[in-house]
Amino acid sequence: MKKHLPSVILAVVLLLLWQGIAMIIDAAYILPSPTQICVRLWELREPLFLVHLPATMKVTAIGLLISIVLGILLAVVMDANEKVERALYPVIVASQTIPTTAIAPLFILWFGYSIWSKVLVTILITFFPIAITVFDGFKATKREMEEL
């Protein structure tokens, strides 16, 4: 506990500072206090946890599953074929320079407010780290281990 005491003290001080500033401003629409937020979360606990949380977890699970399958598949193909690696690796890295917040509205325009626009944003966020990490793992494997 001693190890975490400075972090706990800082968190408490920041919360108290936030509470004090919110009370001075006295405009919840600009800066709600931590206690107001906790009260509102308690009031909305049923729709938040029984409706919105399962819907979010469904989108996340579908997007992550698709990213895992496609990421591992692409990493295997890039590891097996050097031409594919040279062709796709720069494109995958360059794709990460486009901010997700810039592409998300396009997905909504193209696919509407359906689940698939949200799934595509999830795939966009998770595909790159999965594909590159698996590929780098394949490249880091020692030749003796491959032969074994």
Predicted local confidence at residue 148, as pLDDT: 65
Predicted local confidence at residue 61, as pLDDT: 97
The 10s digit of each residue's pLDDT in 51-86 is 999 999 999 999 999 999 999 999 999 999 999 999
Predicted local confidence at residue 103, as pLDDT: 86
CA distances (Å), origin 85, targets 78, 102, 133, 136, 144: 4, 27, 14, 12, 22
Predicted local confidence at residue 41, as pLDDT: 94
Question: What SS3 class is residue 99?
Answer: coil
Question: Could you write out the DSSP letters of every residue in 51-73?
Answer: IIHHHHHHHHHHHHHHHHHHHHH
pLDDT tops 80 at residue 147: no
Output the furthest CA–CA distance in the chain (Å, rounded). Answer: 69
Predicted local confidence at residue 46, as pLDDT: 94
The 10s digit of each residue's pLDDT in 84-95 is 999 998 988 888
0.85 surpassed by pTM: no
Average pLDDT across the chain, whole number: 91
Q: What is the spatial distance between Cα 91 and Cα 1, in angstroms, rounded to a whole number? A: 47
Half-sphere exposure of 44 (CA within 13 A, CB side): 10
- Provide the pLDDT confidence category of residue 102 given band limits of 50, 70 and 90: confident
